[in-house]
Amino acid sequence: MVAPVQDYEDLVSDPQVIANGYIQEVERPGHEPVRMVGVPVRFSRTPGKIRRLAPALGEHSHEVLLECGHTQDEIERLEREDIIRQAQPGAD
């Protein structure tokens, strides 16, 4: 028995994958919709849904660094030296 082997690009475009909701498009205000993996568990009475996008790169840098014990001054220095960036939610 043989069957085609799909790569990731084939998989996310597969009509059955899309019909089953494994890949879903999520709206982004002011931007093109983004395709994301859908909720993997199905419940008949309480269907899951994607509530928000994954954070943008650097979106939580300040919060994480503060939790790790860095001071506000250290974080601002890292930002000035272009070592970290504070991204805006929904930005590309």
Domain ranges of the chain: 1-51, 55-92
**Count of other CB atoms within 10 angstroms of residue 40:** 8
SS (H, E, C) the chain: CCCCCCCHHHHHHCHHHHHCCCEEEEEECCEEEEEEECCCCCCCCCCCCCCCCCCCCCCCHHHHHHHCCCCHHHHHHHHHCCCCCCCCCCCC
pLDDT tens profile 42-68: 888 888 888 888 787 888 899 999 999
The reported pLDDT for the residue numbered 39 is 86
The reported pLDDT for the residue numbered 42 is 83
pLDDT tens profile 4-41: 888 988 888 889 988 888 888 888 878 888 888 888 88
**pLDDT over threshold 70, residue 89:** no
The reported pLDDT for the residue numbered 88 is 59
